[in-house]
Chains A and B, each alone.
Chain A
Amino acid sequence: MNSIGFALLAAMVTIYVLLDGYDLGTATISPFLARTSQERGEAMRSIGPFWNGNEVWLIATGGVLFALFPQAYASAFSAFYLPFTIVLWMLMFRGLAMELRNHFTMPMWRDFWDFAFSASSALLVLLFGVALGNLVRGVPLNASGYLLGTLGFLLNPYALCIGVLALVALALHGALWLAMMTSGAPARRARGAVPALTVAVAALYLAASAATWSVHAVDPQRRWIVALPLICLGALAGVVLATRRGATRWAFVFSSAFLAGLLAGAATALYPFLIPSLPRGGGISIQTMAGGSVAVITFVAIAGLVAVIAYTIFVVRAMSQHAGDA
């Protein structure tokens, strides 16, 4: 049961990254790909109907973490109180910027909100990457399970490396979304940028993998984990090949596979801990799972999420049928 809970959370985080990843990435990369106000408008419209639903995956993941692993939820968010509150403010500001660009039609303000949206999105991705990096590396825990974290501790070279990887990987993901969902100049430029972005992602990925193995060695019982880098690099090759053939939808699928592989690697490195301690060996593990009716809530959550995925696919299909007419 504990492992099912862990897998559910890992799956929700992965879906969050795949979905919100493309709108965060689109926001990050669009200043470079969409140059005129009209082009940026097109880019924003391609994520407009979806970004809010995508962000709900983050909120829902928070709720599920709270219900299944209350101790991890309580420790993590209180330990990094200020950095986390700043992330929350950034999320709020990003939402505000996205909504406000639709209401301020004066070009000056529209440009400002587009910039604010892109800047806050890029910073968020970087911070999410730093958070993930720190999680994989381990964090200092005291005897009561509460963390002792400082901002300076968080910004270590390893975590920053993961942060930059996240930034570039999601920029690629966003570029592929633009190539798939828009037409005209931004899509053409997005396709053009794919090879260079992919090479950058691959290089950062190799560096990050090497660094990960140096922060903790491969568990001899999980040797199969070395297959993951091959899958990830294969997916990146698929991104370039599919883009070259004009199969942008497949390129997006390959990019999603790469991100999923990346997160699967992180999840494997964490398991069986949710928050491993530093120095390693302890931490808040899946054994801290809530008792009581945790099985019921897990299955009710899974059933609900299956329904959500079904109607999301239905809505995206219905909405993109006539995307050209809008």
Chain B
Amino acid sequence: MDLVAADRLQFAFTIMFHYLFPIGTMGLAPFVAWYHFKAWRDDDAEAGRIAAFWTKIFAINFAAGVVTGIPMEFAFGTNWAAFSAKNGAVVGQPLALEGIYAFFLESIFLGVLLYGRTRVARGLHVVSAVLVCLGSWLSGYFIVVTDAWMQHPVGGSLGALLTNPFALWQFVHVIVGALLAGGFIVAGVGAFYLLARRDDGIGRRFVRAGVLTGLLFSLLAIFPTGDRNSADVTKYQPVKLAAMEGLFDSTRGAPLAIIGMPDVPSRKLIDPVVAPSVLSFLAYGSFTANVDGLNAYATTLWPPVELTYYAYHVMVGLGTIFAALSAMSVLLLLWRRRLFEARWLLWLLLLTIPFPYIANEAGWVVTEVGRQPWIVYGLMRTSAGVSPNVPAGETIFTIIGFAGMYFLIGVLFLFLTLREVGVGPNHAQRPAVEASE
């Protein structure tokens, strides 16, 4: 493996593993804050137990996120020294602000949330939950801003960075994706309690809250956030759009590929099932507009076509399924609460939990693999960004080390999370970590 491939593999692996946990924290934080608030406002003891339950799950996600996030802060220096030396003045800014404005907020007030239930005023405890949520979302914003500059390098001033037109819809889409995952996690856990015929009240509460959240955010993921995101790609990165759609020839009235396999050597989409002219409409608002295909560009400017294409179709396909599944669930919920008796649908909800994670990760693969061969779009090639003084062998060694470490973290994360779910909100002896001594 050459140095560039090894560095890319390490970054892809560590960032994708890390990102599993921010999906959980950004997606569950509003639930945590909401149930703490509800317990306080309505003096609702059950909501209090639910709040403590999700706080624990959140804390496990947060800890895994922090632990796997530490190497990310330094990966630009260790593996991408040439990129960092040249562009640190720009991309370093949002990363510095993420530490200062988001991480402190999140970690300090999570300390209050976990250890402060009996130590601080109740109101401050609830406010802490809101601040933790704010911190996790702000962190997401700074990361999206950093990425957006690599996608669409606007001026390097702080103002230009924070208002990059590429960042806005991408950020909203990222948050919507996390909330969609949060909704399906809550619904899936509730479905588990109902299927296991235990904690009926809690199970119903979770399923109801989860499917309503899931429906709302799976619709928002498609429109307007997904649609606007694609519009930005169309405008700023047309060659990425062509790869996402597997469109080789520039076409007036370009079709939208629903199924099909891009065959790069012969430059065509094999066995396609298409919706005629729809791509032109989605991209430019007209069924007859011309969409540039990959052939309009030199192959040295192409991203890896297959990976971009499949990741995009996985994301969009799953997004459609989420909308259908949550819509069906909400209909059965409204139809005299039949959802709670429909065991087949509860099974589906339970088994759906991993798929929003896959959709979120696939979305990032489209964004980042589709950005290739550039590390800074149009300005610096990825191959020019690596650390010239780190041999490929050392990077391969650390990839293997990270793999071992992350296997351990993954196993422990699943074990701890599933154990909390197994205990459930009603049977936890005491509220949070502070009392577990």
Contacts and interface: CB of A to CB of B under 8 A. Distances in A.
Contact of B115 (A41, A145, A297, A326): A326
A311 B121 CA distance: 16
B77 interface: yes
Interface stretch (A59-67, A177-185, A234-242): A59-67
B436 interface: yes
A302 B287 CA distance: 52
Contacts of A226: none
A123 interface: no
A236 B371 CA distance: 56
Given A60-B96, A304-B100, A53 B156 contact: no
B93 A105 contact: no
Q: Which interface residue of B63, B95, B96 has the most chain A CB atoms within 10 A? A: B96
A92 B119 contact: no
Contacts of B63: 95-96, 99
A321 B119 contact: yes
Interface stretch (A82-90, A192-200, A256-264): A82-90
Contacts, number: 232
A223 interface: no
A124 to B, nearest CB: 12
A76 interface: yes
Given A92-B71, A315-B108, A297 B88 contact: no
A81 B387 contact: yes
Q: Which interface residue of B85, B87, B118 has the most chain A CB atoms within 10 A? A: B85
A326 B97 CA distance: 34
A147 interface: yes
A56 B104 contact: yes
B276 interface: no
Q: Which interface residue of B59, B69, B79, B398 has the most chain A CB atoms within 10 A? A: B398
Nearest to A292: B156
B124 A318 contact: yes
Given A53-B104, A73-B77, A315-B109, A81 B95 contact: no
Q: How extensive is the interface on chain B, given as a class?
A: 35 or more
Nearest to B90: A292
B82 interface: yes
A66 B80 CA distance: 12
A323 B118 CA distance: 9
Interface of A: 38, 41, 45, 48-50, 52-53, 55-56, 59-71, 73-79, 81-82, 84-85, 88-89, 91-93, 95-96, 99-100, 102-103, 105, 144-148, 290-294, 296-297, 300-301, 304-305, 308, 311-312, 315, 318-319, 321-323, 325-326
In the A-B complex, list the 8 residue pairs whose CB atoms are closest, starting with the nearest: A70-B88, A67-B92, A290-B89, A60-B99, A77-B77, A66-B92, A49-B111, A63-B96
15 contacts: A45-B437, A52-B107, A52-B110, A59-B70, A59-B103, A70-B89, A77-B81, A81-B390, A99-B67, A102-B433, A145-B85, A292-B90, A319-B112, A322-B119, A326-B115
Interface of B: 59-60, 63, 66-71, 73-74, 76-82, 84-93, 95-101, 103-104, 107-112, 114-116, 118-121, 124, 156-158, 387-390, 394, 397-398, 401, 405, 408-409, 412, 416, 419, 433-434, 436-437
